[in-house]
Structure 1
C-alpha cells in the first residue's frame, strides 16, 4: 500500500513521551508510591491497576499530573521523524486524550523539546467522550499511532493505517491484521517509508 499524500496523526502520551518502557509505566509507578499500594494489574487505567475506586484518584491526579507531564522526555527518534514529515510537506496532527485545560502545559512541553507538528487536538473535557477515530475522520488522517488499544481499534475500524505502540498496559493484547504493533520510532519510520517511499 503506497499513498502519495498522507495525513499523519500521533498520540502524545506513550507515543511521543517516554513514559512506558513496555514493562513499567511512570503513571502507575508514581500512583503506586503515592498510595503505597502495589500494582495488581497492568492496565491503562490507574484505578484498575491499583485496585482503587475512581474517586480515589482525584487527589493524585491533582498533585501529580503536571509534574509527570512536565518531567517526561520525548521518545528517542520521534522529533526527527516528525521533523522529516513536516519538511517533506506532510501534515502532522497530534491527537491526545489530554483535556483542553492541559493545553498550556502540553504546548510548553512540545516547544521545550522542539516537537514539530501542524496542529494539536485535545479532548474538550474530562466529562465528554472523545473518539480519536472520529477526529481522524474529521482531519483526513490516514496513518495513526497510539498506545491505547481501544483507540487503535477505533481508528483501524475506520480504515486508518494504525500502529499500536508497545506498552506495559497493552502487551497482552493480540493485534488484528489491520493493526501492527511497534516498539520504537525506528519501526514507525520504516512504516512511513514503506507508505511514502
Structure 2
C-alpha cells in the first residue's frame, strides 16, 4: 500500500515563514488567516518573476527552518510500521533535494521515495506509483488529482478553506491517520 504526501503545508509547517518573508518584502502585515488563495503572487500583488527571485534568496532558509506539523512524525512513522510505503511528492525544485533529505532525516520522517517535481502537476506520478491516498493542501492540486482518480485527503489550510471540496478534509495528522486506519483495517 502506498501513500503520497505533499511536503510543504502538510509535513513542513512553513506557512508562517512564507507569510513573514513576503510581508517583509512587500511591506505588509498579513497573517496566515488572511491568505485565502494558494498563489502568493496574487495575494501580494507581485509578478511571478519577483516571486521566483525572492524564493531563490529565501527558500533554502525557509526549508531548513520549518518546524514539523504537529503529529506528522508520529503518524507517518505509524503508517510505515503498519506496512505503508510513503512517497513524499513535492513541487519543490530538485536543487533542494539534499537539504530536503537532511530536513526529513533530522525530523525523523521516514519515506520510501522522495520526489521533487518542480511542478504542481503530481497526477502522473501518483498514478505511476499507484498511491492509495495523496495528502495535499493545494486545492488546485487536489482538484486535479481527484479528477484523475486519485483519492485525496485535503489538509486544511487558510488558503483552501474558502474553496468547495467534496472529498475528505482533515485538520490534523490524527484525523488523517484515523481515516486511513479505519479504511484499511
TM-score by length of structure 1 reads: 0.86
Native 8 Å contact 1:147 1:166 kept in 2: yes
- Per-residue Cα deviation, 1:39-59 (whole angstroms, up to 9, x for no partner): 485321221111112222233
Native 8 Å contact 2:8 2:90 kept in 1: yes
CA distance in 2, matches of 1:33, 1:130: 26
Displacement of 1:79 after TM fit?
Answer: 1.0
CA distance in 2, matches of 1:157, 1:107: 30
Query: Which structure features the higher share of helix residues?
Result: 2
RMSD: 1.7
Q: Does 1:14 align with 2:19?
A: no
Q: Does 1:100 align with 2:94?
A: yes
Displacement of 1:26 after TM fit?
Answer: 2.8
Q: Does 1:33 align with 2:24?
A: yes
Q: Does 1:144 align with 2:134?
A: yes
CA distance in 1, matches of 2:158, 2:24: 18
Partner of 2:85: 91
Aligned positions, number: 182
Displacement of 1:81 after TM fit?
Answer: 1.3
TM-score by length of structure 2 reads: 0.91
Runs of 5+ in structure 2 lacking a partner?
none
Q: After superposition, where does 1:63-142 map in structure 2 within 5 Å?
A: 63-123=57-117, 125=118, 129-142=119-132
- Per-residue Cα deviation, 1:98-137 (whole angstroms, up to 9, x for no partner): 01111011111001111101110111x4xxx552121110
CA distance in 2, matches of 1:96, 1:62: 17
- Per-residue Cα deviation, 1:28-71 (whole angstroms, up to 9, x for no partner): 23211122135485321221111112222233212211111111
CA distance in 2, matches of 1:136, 1:57: 27
Q: Does 1:195 align with 2:183?
A: yes
